[in-house]
């Protein structure tokens, strides 16, 4: 009976975690380049089967049994979190400092106080020093300038055009001059990307050799990639998670108010 209470509690905690993840997706519905997160709900048995070889005691022993309670091994639990890196819809802006990437495995490189980071949000601006930067003030790095943190110095008063491969050109009147190139990179394993604040990603420092600088036609000027969050789908999941929380809550109340009270009264009658 108490095991049922534990199972309902575990299920409720799992749904609260799902609610947090869904709410974050919805909060970033209008964040350029945002990639939705999702979870996989499994149970303790799956975790046990994945990690039992790492337990301090051999499997199938009396001592090892305490690591696996078969009355609780089906309690719902989030066993994996992942990011959906599929492309979001492209929105035309006609802003010459807006850029989108047409390859789902392509990222702009920016310099932050903590080191280089990567983003798909191409809504750039020009900072007070004349460098191309993000809305948060991080410099956008140039191709070949990732190692030394070289930014892109903009030409005052000039219009800018960017080729699909990231090459930049400044135009003043009838004169057009090269202006460097946007750094665009891809990764061998996007699963290793870690989200940090301001719609940025980091990649493990010891695996940076897996990073590849792209010189392919993936840059679209005058466009922004919108979030790949589908509001209808997320709202459906939100309603589902809320209903499951309500269901688990009713189960907990039944255990506390009815079943426990009945068990206590029956035990008292036998004394």
Q: Each residue of 224-256: pLDDT tens digit?
A: 999 999 999 999 999 999 999 898 888 887 877
Does the pLDDT at position 57 exceed 80? no
Alpha helices (H) in the chain, listed in sequence order: 2-27, 44-51, 231-253, 260-270
What CA–CA distances, in Å, run from 259 to 4, 248, 255? 11, 15, 5
Average pLDDT, the chain: 86
Does the pLDDT at position 66 exceed 70? no
What CA–CA distances, in Å, run from 7 to 14, 196, 251? 11, 33, 10
- Which one is predicted more confidently, 243 or 59? 243
For 234, what's the count of Cα atoms within 13 Å in the CB-facing half-sphere?
Answer: 20
Does the pLDDT at position 195 exceed 80? yes
Does the pLDDT at position 188 exceed 90? yes
Q: Each residue of 23-53: pLDDT tens digit?
A: 999 999 999 999 999 998 876 665 555 655 5
pLDDT of 65 reads: 54
pLDDT of 263 reads: 56
Q: Each residue of 78-134: pLDDT tens digit?
A: 888 999 999 999 999 989 999 999 999 999 999 999 999 999 999 999 999 999 999
Is the Cα torsion angle 99, 100, 102, 103 positive or negative in sign?
Answer: positive
Confidence of residue 76 (pLDDT cuts 50, 70, 90): confident
Contact call for residues 109 and 183 (beta carbons, < 8 A)? yes
Q: Each residue of 206-216: pLDDT tens digit?
A: 998 999 999 99
Q: Which residues contact 243 (CB under 8 A, 6 or more apart)?
A: none
- Which one is predicted more confidently, 93 or 58? 93
Q: Which residues contact 217 (CB under 8 A, 6 or more apart)?
A: 102, 163, 164, 165
What CA–CA distances, in Å, run from 131 to 81, 95, 127, 198? 37, 17, 6, 19
Q: Each residue of 149-171: pLDDT tens digit?
A: 889 999 998 999 999 999 999 99
Alpha helices (H) in 29-165, listed in sequence order: 44-51
pLDDT of 157 reads: 87
Nearest-angstrom CA–CA distance, 197 and 100: 20
pLDDT of 20 reads: 94
């Amino acid at each position: 009976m108490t095991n049922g209470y534990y199972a309902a509690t575990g299920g409720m905690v799992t749904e609260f975690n799902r609610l947090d993840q869904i709410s974050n997706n919805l909060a970033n519905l209008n964040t350029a380049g945002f990639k939705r997160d999702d979870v996989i709900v499994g149970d303790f048995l799956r975790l046990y089967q994945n990690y039992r070889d790492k337990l301090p005691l051999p499997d199938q022993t009396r001592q090892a049994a305490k690591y696996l309670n078969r009355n609780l091994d089906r309690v719902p639990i989030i066993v994996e979190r992942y990011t959906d890196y599929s492309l979001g819809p492209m929105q035309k802006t006609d802003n010459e400092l807006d850029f989108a990437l047409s390859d789902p495995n392509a990222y702009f490189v920016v310099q932050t106080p903590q080191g280089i980071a990567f983003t798909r949000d191409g809504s750039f601006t020009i900072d007070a020093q004349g460098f191309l930067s993000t809305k948060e003030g991080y410099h956008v790095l140039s191709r070949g300038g990732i190692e030394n943190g070289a930014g892109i110095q903009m030409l005052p008063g000039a219009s800018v055009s960017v080729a699909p491969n990231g090459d930049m050109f400044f135009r003043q009147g009838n004169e057009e001059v090269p202006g460097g190139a946007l750094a665009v990179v891809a990764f061998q394993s996007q699963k290793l990307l870690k989200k940090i604040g301001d719609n940025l990603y980091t990649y493990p420092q010891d695996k940076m050799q897996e990073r590849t600088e792209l010189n392919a036609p993936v840059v679209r000027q005058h466009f922004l990639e919108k979030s790949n969050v589908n509001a209808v789908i997320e709202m459906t999941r939100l309603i589902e998670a809320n209903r499951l929380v309500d269901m688990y809550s009713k189960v907990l109340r039944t255990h506390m108010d009815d079943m426990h009270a009945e068990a206590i009264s029956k035990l008292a009658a036998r004394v």
